[in-house]
Structure 1
Amino acid sequence: MVPVHAACALLSFVPLLVLGVPPIWTQPEQVHLSYPGVPGSMAVTWTTFNKTESKVEYGLLGGRLFEMSAKGGTTLFVDSGEEKRELYIHRVTLTGLKPAATYVYHCGSDEGWSDVFLFTALNDSTSFSPRFALYGDLGNENPQSLARLQKETQLGMYDVILHIGDFAYDMDEDNARIGDEFMRQIQSIAAYVPYMTCPGNHEATYNFSNYRNRFSMPGQTESLWYSWNLGSAHIISISTEVYFYLEFGLDLLFKQYEWLTKDLEEANKPENRAVRPWIITMGHRPMYCSDDDQDDCTKFDSYVRLGRNDTKPPAPGLEDLFYRYGVDLELWAHEHTYERLWPVYGDKVYNGSKDQPYVNPKAPVHIITGSAGCRERTDRFNPNPKDWSAFRSTDYGYTRMQLVNATHLYLEQVSDDQYGKVIDSIWVVKDKHGFSAWF
């Protein structure tokens, strides 16, 4: 029999013995989807904390479970915080999917599998009328709209989510653990529909490394800017942050502008614009806003809108470019409010008509939707907005959009403070698209 004092001595070593064995972290988590931009495909991204195989097993809903499988690759992401935490980011692209078919899937390896999820492959028809939820500035703390978005996504109300910058607040905090927690929080949305993103200012730490590593957008720019097609729209995602974080390279600003010009030229070729007449942009910091927080958009000479003259060479802004190529709708966030603008260009209103401002508007339509919920709360408005401000709300909430057809697009704002009430809605109607539509 072991003496009592000896048993106590042995027990005192138990925590050391437990702590001496590193935990095995092969369980997939933070599962999310994105659309690679190629019809019949879907990208699945997830995280583990030990290196494992990257595999997705899937099958048609109602068919044999997991009868198909696909393999992908793993990227080691070392966070730049003090602990230099290591995350393994797994990416697998599923191809040959049947348009509009629903698939059941799980991801991982024989060392651990995720929960079972399902998604509907995007319909690649140009007559498809996709439904979107869109918002920016959703945090890990006070994510007020999240529960409603989770439920509506799982009810099948959306085909795509657009997150227009600012995630988690902030993904790099606590050695990127806040990023992990946020990605777990949105899994109940992002594992079911493509979660399409653009970077915001809250992603800037360590040169946007958490953003660039965690998301898998189309193209070869580490998700900083890209474009893709869906239904009757060509959708462009940009980084407004290239105008503000020059320490990460002024060349990024000019590279994006050059890419954007070529992309808009291609989208405006008559044969392309005939098929995808709507051009929609999404970027974090707006060109216009009427908040009272002294942000870039509260100043007439906004960098995003007019460029920068303090760089060599001077950096071009985006308003003239978007106007020249007939961009129809510009989606923004950053301001923790919702604001709908009248059609605007050069700080002037160009409504279609007095009675029907959004029917054949003579300038792009801007929507700011940054009130999904974060620890910084909502912003306040300037009591004397300019003429282009049409509707404003400080309620927490998010925006819904449906691309109905080649001529009709519907937008509405949901107030989470008012239990999901629709507090604003418009139809944008365009018989003609492109630069000539302005005249």
Structure 2
Amino acid sequence: MLPVQAACALLSLAPLLVLGVPPIGTQPEQVHLSYPGVSGFMIVTWTTFNETESKVEYGILGGRVFDMTAKGYATLFLDSGEEKREMYIHRVTLTGLKPAAAYVYHCGSDEGWSDVFFFIALNDSTSFSPKFALYGDLGNENPQSLARLQKETQLGMYDVVLHIGDFAYDMHEDNARIGDEFMRQIQPIAAYVPYMTCPGNHEAEYNFSNYRNRFSMPGQTESLWYSWNLGSAHIISLSTEVYFYLEFGLKLLFKQYKWLQQDLEEANKPENRAVRPWIITMGHRPMYCSDDDQDDCTKFDSFVRLGRNDTKPPAPGLEDLFYRYGVDLELWAHEHTYERLWPVYGDKVYNGSKEQPYVNPKAPVHIVTGSAGCRERTDRFNPNPKEWSAFRSTDYGYTRMQIVNTTHIYLEQVSDDQYGKVIDSIWVVKEKHGFSAWV
């Protein structure tokens, strides 16, 4: 037996015995899925800190493990912080997936593989009734709802997650290390279901570069705006930030508006609206809110809703556009609270009826869900809200949604403060969709 002193001496040399090998930068991390908007496809995105191959090995659950391989590509992302940290963002598109089939996969290369994950390929049937978790403003610090969302996702409670802006607080901080850590934190959610996003104000640093590089949404707009179909819904994700960060180009605002107009026109073609009658939008900053935070839609009317007159040419808002094309449901975040509105347009309530306000409503329904948890804590409410405010909560939590069929959508709010209790719920029922539904 070695004397104690000799054993201690050997232990002190242990770091030298590995010949000073640096941490392995080829190990995949921050794995997340996204739906490219095409049936039978799924995108797997991950990060390494050295350049490696981009491969996904996958197979049908219960079949031969990893009997299929897909290859993709890596993009060098150079963070704009002082250290100019480099990372490689890998993207691989899986094709030919069988709708509603369960798959197992891992990603990486022969220089390092991720853990094994599973997902269910999205069902492309228009009669599919998808279930969503949706929220905004989830941070790296004080992410109170995160553990519950991780567990519920792995229990199979959700088909898709919608993160409606504001990630990590903030992804660029500490030379983007906060972004890395946040992406690791959401991996237990995002590696199992498509994690669909839109940008918020906390992503603005370096012209939204961390957001644009880390996520892989449909379309060719670096994930800033896009649309996709699921079940009986056409879902539109947009950037409200084009109304606020004009230093990055007023052209973006008008480009998005034109795209929205064209996308809504296409979605409203009779043959399209017949099979996907629901039109749902998600954007970070709400058109309406009653928080007492001296921010937009509390201190001044929402630019997103009414546009801006201080630009040349004046920038059009989105409320009239969405109303004209019969948008049914509008999902927002930014305010660190939960607020459900009565059907509203032009600052006025248009309930379906006094007894059943959400049955055949005469205006879009708005939900604000920005209380998932972040270092800025929750907001306070104005004690005297306008008549369109139907239900408010300052509890930490998130929203669940199910598109049940062509006439019914169910929404409920989960309070994490109250151990997962459902504190609010509504059914939105529409027998007719489109602009004519308002009349």
Please indicate the TM-score interval, normalised by the length of the shorter structure: over 0.9
State how far apart, in whole Å, the 1-side matches of 2:208 and 2:323 are.
29
Shift of 1:142: 0.3
Shift of 1:120: 0.2
State how far apart, in whole Å, the 1-side matches of 2:8 and 2:390 are.
73
Deviations, residues 359-384 of structure 1 (Å, cap 9, x unaligned): 00000000000000000000000000
Shift of 1:80: 0.2
Shift of 1:33: 0.2
State how far apart, in whole Å, the 2-side matches of 1:323 and 1:127 are.
26
Which residue number corresponds to residue 68 of structure 1? 68
Q: 1:417 to 1:4 in 2, by over 3 A?
A: closer
State how far apart, in whole Å, the 1-side matches of 2:396 and 2:5 are.
61
Deviations, residues 39-77 of structure 1 (Å, cap 9, x unaligned): 011000000000000000000000000000100010000
State how far apart, in whole Å, the 1-side matches of 2:11 and 2:152 are.
51
Q: 1:68 to 1:299 in 2, by over 3 A?
A: same
Alignment of 1:312-331 (within 5 A): 312-331=312-331
State how far apart, in whole Å, the 1-side matches of 2:86 and 2:67 are.
32
Shift of 1:24: 3.2
Shift of 1:195: 0.1
Does 2:169 match 1:172? no
State how far apart, in whole Å, the 1-side matches of 2:419 and 2:4 are.
62
Shift of 1:23: 3.6
Shift of 1:297: 1.4
Deviations, residues 398-422 of structure 1 (Å, cap 9, x unaligned): 0000000000000000000000000
Which residue number corresponds to residue 186 of structure 1? 186
Q: 1:224 to 1:19 in 2, by over 3 A?
A: farther
SS at match of 1:13: helix
State how far apart, in whole Å, the 1-side matches of 2:140 and 2:87 are.
19
State how far apart, in whole Å, the 2-side matches of 1:8 and 1:337 are.
56
SS at match of 1:202: helix
Q: Which runs of 5+ in 2 are unaligned?
A: none
State how far apart, in whole Å, the 1-side matches of 2:120 and 2:3 are.
65
Deviations, residues 190-240 of structure 1 (Å, cap 9, x unaligned): 000000000000000000000000000000000000000000000000000
State how far apart, in whole Å, the 2-side matches of 1:392 and 1:401 are.
18
Shift of 1:124: 0.1
Q: 1:3 to 1:151 in 2, by over 3 A?
A: closer
State how far apart, in whole Å, the 2-side matches of 1:193 and 1:12 are.
45
Q: Segments of 4+ in structure 1 off by > 4 A?
A: 1-22
Shift of 1:299: 4.2
Which residue number corresponds to residue 93 of structure 1? 93
Shift of 1:14: 10
Q: 1:8 to 1:261 in 2, by over 3 A?
A: same
Cα RMSD after superposing both structures:
2.6
Shift of 1:298: 1.2
Deviations, residues 126-159 of structure 1 (Å, cap 9, x unaligned): 0000000000000000000000000000000000
Which residue number corresponds to residue 83 of structure 1? 83
Q: Which runs of 5+ in 1 are unaligned?
A: none
Q: 1:4 to 1:352 in 2, by over 3 A?
A: closer
Shift of 1:301: 2.6
Alignment of 1:388-403 (within 5 A): 388-403=388-403
SS at match of 1:263: helix
State how far apart, in whole Å, the 2-side matches of 1:14 and 1:152 are.
42
Q: 1:8 to 1:284 in 2, by over 3 A?
A: same
Shift of 1:7: 16
SS at match of 1:219: coil
Give the TM-score normalised by the residue count of structure 2. Answer: 0.96
Which residue number corresponds to residue 339 of structure 1? 339
State how far apart, in whole Å, the 2-side matches of 1:413 and 1:9 are.
59
Deviations, residues 233-257 of structure 1 (Å, cap 9, x unaligned): 0000000000000000000000000
State how far apart, in whole Å, the 1-side matches of 2:62 and 2:238 are.
39
Q: 1:188 to 1:14 in 2, by over 3 A?
A: closer
State how far apart, in whole Å, the 2-side matches of 1:416 and 1:201 are.
24
Q: 1:403 to 1:8 in 2, by over 3 A?
A: closer
SS at match of 1:262: helix
SS at match of 2:18: helix
State the identity as a percent.
91
Which residue number corresponds to residue 369 of structure 1? 369
Q: 1:241 to 1:13 in 2, by over 3 A?
A: same
Shift of 1:302: 1.3
| Farther-moved stretch of structure 1 (13-22 vs 296-305) | 13-22
State how far apart, in whole Å, the 1-side matches of 2:18 and 2:153 are.
41
State how far apart, in whole Å, the 1-side matches of 2:32 and 2:5 are.
53
- Count of aligned pairs between the two proteins: 439
Shift of 1:295: 1.2
